[in-house]
A and B are shown apart, each in its own frame.
Chain A
């Protein structure tokens, strides 16, 4: 089309326009793909497991089963509760105990799977802190009083012969981000943080000439304290009854693809970081470095039931309200 040595200005412009037109010619095919009534509302908070859902919604398996489905982020518990109640969030990642709570309070949801097996870490700027035995008398900053991390930490302390009320001073913050700020501002030297904020505290510390160390994994301590595997079934996907009625086969497809997408995230942390940047608006390097610590693994709710019930019972011993006062009924655990 373009003569090598005699391309005049007219031919040049013609070639440029033609090539541009070729690039534009496939537009209708894409437009059709984006306009589908079969789309499923898939949501999650800005944390590691949600990256798998972002990848999942871009997969051909999901786009074939539910064309036009897009992953969206919820940023506050109120937004999540409203979305679940209205049915807009047909699938969403929630903390597992929140899923139990929603179910026990009568909201039309079921647990499809567990996607992360623990995101909690103790971070410290004090090089002398290397184990639980080093935190006696210290102030530990913790996001949210009586929330799951607080209850897990208290349980771990108890199992190690320590009291959260006597042996340490826990300073609660309104948000996890505030806990990071306390740590980096030097107001405290030790914090309990979830991923990806634990990794973010390390990277932010590097920029501020502050060495933030990952002292210990609460998952490991949980395993030691309970005699079980070193994992906490922390979060997973709940599915609305409306979706189960509207597309009964979709959840099986969803769980299978979630497992593949989770493998992709674990195997490709840098690519996952870039994907997270687009969906979660979190810096890619933070996600990339946090993925190895996010314990991402998909297990169906039915298969994870024993771990979930043990987890719920342990939490409920300290705060029954966190799961809505009782263990969820059989129907809560979807068998897929």
Chain B
């Protein structure tokens, strides 16, 4: 009672980002220096990113057929949605899919606690592609969030976080199934204690539970006179983590212990045949992971201008399918469908031992040097990250016609990345941020230029492939399979930000990557083509009322001519889409930092283009590419109270 009384008092204050540590990969550690989760299954599909409290109001409506490596500037509305006020609301209309978005967030903070609640709703329908044809897409999405914390002293705090992100009736025009429901619930508790018993050790412990429910079928959202099928996916992940932070001889150390239990089950049903199971897609897989991580960091030199970071991680990952012997009984063609996962694994790989244990050792070393007085930072980063095959790669067991089968490989070796990166960042003294320049500085005195290149030698890269009787694959029936191969991955990124004046700024970002499957001497599938994004932004005060801004984003994507598009020699995953350029214009104004109106035209020139990277909200390598929206307006109205 006392706490709530104090929280509802005059000190109510918009919450900072400190407690928005909601859904990072780790339970308590915001970021592990050695983190194998940064490398995931290549071209992985699945639910879109969760909307966090930080992005609840500002996130664009989800769209899996339109990408972009650089976000547009937030413009004048940022001072409305970013204001330190307790209640914020926003509503948006997008011409692409007649998408309506409504969101609101309320937060209070007192000396001994805080609380935040948020809600967001999106409703989207079919849209017109740049080629003039209607794309039968659409979805509804509801997000509910709460975050609360008890901060009785600077030395201790308890935070509780709950999020539900529910996407319903999401049409998948590039695939044979639509997603009726993708419901994710995340619960998280974090206890932080500092300077325990005066030892100087800070300790954080936390627990996270993720519950995923997905339902898909091929008849509810589309006409279907043939076999009616549905898919049910259920996954629950429990994770506990403890982290101790302490200093020794000037080294800042963090020792982290993580334990995870993951249960994952998915079945496909033949609705036409009494709703019987016709494929045990994920056979009730249990995955248990224990991880011990030690990170350390120290700065050297009179001005602390040299920093060395090092880390090591040991992981033990044990996986076991609980329903590998379940034989489906609902297949339209029993000989092709009614096959247990164990039989599929055995047929394609000769594997009989389905349990697997990986002992993974990862490590990383990074050195940064600040060069005086140039404002230049240079760094080198070397790492070995070891990633165990995920549940799809190991145990997927999609039966059916051979060319649409998709069979995981229980005995896949863990993927081992050996990555070497060098990079540099130059920042003028007068550069504060993009669109923030130190007053009084000259035309070219507020520039930030950064660039990096890396080379990643990947041993046992887990690649999608077609069964052709290649090494380790016993059949040649064209089914989708997973194999270990070796691969090289190279990438470069350059970013230039220039604040010409305190009102006019421009940014250019270029990314390039190239990946080669060196075992098979072919390109790795779904590697993004060369892309550049150019922003030009102008912002200005609006009399005594507020501020306004105008801006443009030009996105240039080159043709990707390194394709894995032949099912006879590779996976056939890729599809040639060509290069394109898309220009977006946008503007906004706000009055009194209380209300803002933003609007824009996406794809001003109504270009017809398809993204090379396929829509990835659903798992399947057999997806096609879909035209992105043509010219479309959007309008957003936001306010705070």
A contact set with B: CB distance below 8 Å: 1-9, 11-12, 15-16, 19-20, 23-24, 26-27, 30-31, 33-34, 54-55, 57-59, 70-72, 202-203, 205-214, 260-261, 263-264, 267-271, 274, 277-279, 285, 288-289
* Those of B512-565 within 8 Å (CB) of chain A: 530, 532, 534, 536, 541, 543-547, 554, 556-559
For B110, the chain A residues whose CB sits under 8 A away are: 206, 211
Interface stretch among B76-84, B396-404, B469-477?
B76-84
Asked if residues B439 and A6 are in contact (CB atoms below 8 Å), the reply is no
Number of interface residues of B (CB under 8 A): 65
Task: Determine if B532 and A30 form an interchain contact, defined as CB atoms under 8 angstroms apart.
Answer: no
Distance to closest chain B CB from A14 (angstroms) = 10
- Closest B residue to A6 by CB, please name it: B578
Tell which of B95-103, B147-155, B173-181, B340-348 binds the partner: B147-155
Kindly state whether residue B258 has any CB partner on chain A within 8 Å. Answer: no
Q: Per a CB cutoff under 8 Å, which of A6, A70, A211 touches B579? A: A6
Chain B residues with Cβ below 8 Å from A9 are 530, 558-559, 579
Any A CB within 8 A of the CB of B47: no
Contact partner of A278 (CB less than 8 A), chosen from B14, B439, B443, is B439
A278 touches B581 (CB 8 A): no
Q: Given the interface contacts A270-B83, A271-B546, does A206 sit within 8 Å of B534 by beta carbon?
A: no
In the complex the two chains form, is A207's CB within 8 Å of B543's CB? no
Are A270 and B557 in touch, CB under 8 angstroms?
Answer: no
B579–A203 touching, CB < 8 Å: no
- Min CB distance, A131 to chain B, in Å? 16
Give A3 to B437 CA distance when docked, in angstroms: 36
Please name all residues of chain A whose beta carbon is closer than 8 Å to the beta carbon of B577 when the two chains form the complex.
Answer: 5
Establish whether residues A20 and B541, one from each chain, have CB atoms under 8 Å apart when the complex forms. Answer: no
Give the chain A neighbours of B438 by CB distance below 8 A.
278
Q: How many A-B residue pairs have CB under 8 A?
A: 174
In the complex, A207→B546 CA distance in Å? 30
**Shortest Cβ distance from A125 into chain B, in angstroms?**
9
A12 touches B11 (CB 8 A): no
Q: Give 28 CB contacts A-B under 8 Å.
A: A2-B556, A4-B608, A6-B559, A7-B559, A7-B579, A8-B559, A12-B557, A15-B581, A16-B532, A19-B554, A20-B506, A23-B536, A31-B442, A31-B443, A54-B439, A70-B439, A206-B11, A206-B109, A264-B541, A264-B543, A269-B593, A270-B593, A271-B546, A271-B547, A277-B436, A278-B432, A289-B13, A289-B84
Contact assessment for B500 and A27 in the assembled complex, using a CB-CB cutoff below 8 Å: yes
Q: A4-B609, A269-B593 are in contact. Are A16 and B544 (CB under 8 A)?
A: no
Q: In the complex the two chains form, is A268's CB within 8 Å of B547's CB?
A: yes
Q: Does B29 contact A (CB under 8 A)?
A: no
Q: Which of B79, B534, B536, B556 contacts A274 (CB 8 A)?
A: B79
B residues touching A (Cβ–Cβ < 8 Å)? 6, 10-11, 13-14, 16, 79-80, 82-84, 109-112, 130, 151-154, 432, 436-440, 442-444, 496, 498, 500-502, 504, 506, 508, 510, 530, 532, 534, 536, 541, 543-547, 554, 556-559, 577-581, 590-593, 607-609
Q: Supply 9 further A-B pairs (C-beta < 8 A) apart from A8-B579, A16-B532, A267-B593.
A: A2-B580, A7-B581, A12-B530, A12-B579, A23-B506, A261-B544, A263-B544, A270-B82, A278-B436
From A11, A30, A211, B443 is in contact (CB under 8 Å) with: A30
Q: Are B498 and A23 interface neighbours, CB within 8 A?
A: yes
9 closest Cβ pairs, A-B complex: A2-B581, A7-B579, A5-B578, A211-B111, A263-B544, A270-B83, A4-B607, A70-B440, A23-B506
Bound-state CA distance A24–B578 (Å) is: 29
Q: Which residue of A lies closest to B155 (CB)?
A: A209
Contact B592 A267 (CB under 8 A): yes
**In the complex, are the beta carbons of B581 and A20 less than 8 A apart?**
no
Given that A23-B536, A211-B6 are known contacts, is A16 also in contact with B556, CB under 8 Å in the complex?
A: yes
Q: Decide yes or no: A267 and B545 within 8 Å by CB, A7-B559, A16-B534, A71-B439 being known contacts.
A: yes
Kindly identify which residue among B154, B442, B579 contacts A208, using a CB–CB cutoff of 8 Å: B154
Which chain B positions have C-beta within 8 A of A211? 6, 11, 110-112
Q: Is the beta-carbon distance between A30 and B501 smaller than 8 angstroms? A: yes
* Distance between A149 CB and nearest chain B CB, rounded to angstroms: 22
CB distance from B181 to the nearest CB of A (A): 35
| CB-CB under 8 A for A268 and B79, given A5-B579, A209-B112 | yes
Chain A residues with CB under 8 A of B579? 2-3, 5-9, 11-12
Which residues on the A side are within 8 Å of B508 (C-beta)? 16, 19-20, 23
Contacts of B510 in A (CB 8 A): 16
Complex CA distance for A4 and B129, rounded to whole angstroms = 13
Hey, which chain B residues are within 8 Å of A271, CB to CB?
Answer: 79, 541, 546-547, 590, 593
Q: How far is the CB of B399 from chain A (nearest CB, A)?
A: 38
Q: Residues of A contacting B83 with CB < 8 Å?
A: 269-270, 288
Contact of B543 among A24, A70, A260 (CB under 8 A): A260
Q: Which residues of B contact A6 (CB under 8 A)?
A: 559, 578-579
> Given A30-B443, A209-B151, A209-B153, do A5 and B79 touch, yes or no (CB 8 Å)?
no
CA distance A296 to B500 in the complex (A): 31
Chain A residues contacting B608 (CB-CB under 8 Å) are 4-5
In the docked arrangement, what's the CA distance between A308 and B204, Å? 56
**B544-A267 in contact (CB<8A):** yes
- Known contacts: A27-B443, A58-B502, A271-B593. The answer to whether A7 contacts B547 by CB under 8 A is no
- Nearest-Cβ distance from residue B358 to partner chain A, whole angstroms: 40
B530 touches A270 (CB 8 A): no
Least Cβ distance of A95 to chain B in Å? Answer: 24
* Cβ–Cβ contact A202 & B11, under 8 A: yes
- Set of chain A residues within 8 Å of B436, measured between Cβ atoms: 274, 277-278
Residues of B close to A206: CB separation below 8 A: 11, 13, 109-111
A162 to chain B, nearest CB (A): 26
Contacts of A1 in B (CB 8 A): 581
Report whether A214 and B10 are in contact in the complex, using a CB–CB cutoff of 8 Å: yes
B592 & A268 in contact (Cβ 8 Å cutoff): yes
Assess whether A23 is in contact with B534, with CB atoms less than 8 Å apart: yes
User: Are B84's CB and A288's CB within 8 A?
Assistant: yes
Instruction: Give the complex CA separation of A54 and B442 in angstroms.
Output: 17
Given the complex, which residues of B lie within 8 Å of A213, measured CB to CB?
A: 10-11
Inter-chain CA distance A9–B514, complex, in Å, is 14
Q: How far is the CA of A188 from the CA of B556 in the complex (A)?
A: 61
Query: Are B556 and A15 in contact, with the CB atoms below 8 A?
Result: yes
Q: Which chain A residues border B112 with CB–CB below 8 Å?
A: 209, 211
A71 to B498, CA, bound (A): 22
Considering the chains assembled together, what is the distance between the CA atoms of A24 and B498 in angstroms? 9
**CB closest chain-A residue, reference B535:** A23
CB distance from A54 to the nearest CB of B (A): 7
Q: Which residues of A contact B590 (CB under 8 A)?
A: 268, 271
Q: Which residues of B contact A19 (CB under 8 A)?
A: 508, 534, 554
A34 neighbours in B (Cβ, 8 Å): 442-443
B residues in contact with A209, CB < 8 Å = 111-112, 151-154
**Chain A residues within 8 Å of B496, by CB:** 20
- CA A24 – CA B559 in complex, angstroms? 27
Interchain CA distance A289-B25 in the complex, whole Å: 34
Name the distance in Å between B528's Cβ and chain A's nearest Cβ: 13
B505's nearest neighbour on chain A, judged by CB, is A23
- CB-CB under 8 A from B557, the residues of chain A are 7, 12
- Complex CA distance for A24 and B505, rounded to whole angstroms: 10
CA of A6 to CA of B607, assembled, Å = 11
In the bound complex, CA of A6 to CA of B561 (Å): 12
| Contact, CB under 8 Å: A205 / B546 | no
Collect the chain B residues with CB atoms within 8 Å of residue A270's CB. 79-80, 82-84, 593
Chain A residues with CB below 8 A from B591, complex form: 267
Most buried by A among B13, B444, B556, B590: B556
**Interface contact B558-A12, CB-CB below 8 Å:** yes
Minimum CB–CB distance for B498 against chain A, Å: 7
Q: Which residues of A contact B444 (CB under 8 A)?
A: 27
Closest residue of chain A to B503 (Cβ to Cβ) is: A58
Q: Give chain A residues whose Cβ lies under 8 Å from the Cβ of B154.
A: 207-209
Kindly state the separation between the CA atoms of A260 and B501 in the bound complex, as whole angstroms. Answer: 22
Taking the closest CB of chain A, its distance from the CB of B512, in whole angstroms, is 10
> Please, which residues of chain B bring their CB within 8 A of the CB of A70?
439-440
Asked, given contacts A270-B79, A278-B438, whether A285 binds B11 with beta carbons under 8 Å apart, the answer is: no
